[in-house]
Structure 1
Amino acid sequence: MKSSPYSLMALVLLVFIGCKSDDIDSVILQSTEYRLNAVNGSGITGTATFTQDSNGSTEVLIQLDDGSSTAIHPAFIRFNNANEGGAVALTLEACECAVSRTAVTELDTGTAISYDDLLTLDGHISIHESPTDMTVISVADIGANAN
């Protein structure tokens, strides 16, 4: 099958029209990944990636592995390590269809927190069964508690 040169030019034109320089708000400066481990017999594992953006925020991306469902799973960054448990430091966007993306600039208390602060936080991530069943199904120690 041959395509006409006009089809190719139309495709190139669409790419240039669709990509404006003002669409790029920030640049990724660095990232750190943590492995989420299954707890309470859930079989739910995954990764949490903290990405430092040039706009001053940190994106927390959670991706649950194939063992997860399409259900909504609340997600939090909590103080202390996963074995100790702790109060909620930061409420993350719930995992829907196994993915959560949250732009972070401050804790739930309003205290500013940077990428570097998150990497030294005495904390952990907890993923829960559902909004009505807060059983922890997956955890990852982060910051000062990470191996």
Structure 2
Amino acid sequence: MPGEPLLLLIALHLRSMLAMASLFWRVRRLERELRALPGVLRVHRWVSRRSLLLTVWCEGPEAADACLASPGLASLAQRAGEGRQVRLWAERYALLPGALHLGARGAPPASADAQGDGDGPEGREGLAGRYQA
């Protein structure tokens, strides 16, 4: 549906540490490039020993498609296709309704409260005395 936020994951996995320095800076440039695109709400970069991950929150499918068509991602995909040292994948995910995302603040959903009455009185009785008011 248009207008619903999407999460775009872009991952690079390296077979060895040799290419990490150059790929780190390429991913950082890609991060800045994606932040400047219209419809991109937030970009987060995560780095581990041999993996680089970008999570991109987009306003809708058009913004996610623009991210996937960006020149920086195309150059990374080309580099990943040249050799067997780097694997690249990108996927889109729809965010669940009511989920806390995009850095939103507020009360957690009622189902997150372990002692809440989300299931009604029957749910509390099912705890067999473990529920403490």
Flag whether TM exceeds 0.5 (same fold): no
> TM-score by structure 1 length?
0.29
Structure that is richer in helix per residue: 2
> TM-score by structure 2 length?
0.32
Q: Which has the higher contact order (CA 8 A, sep 6+)?
A: 2
Larger Rg: 2
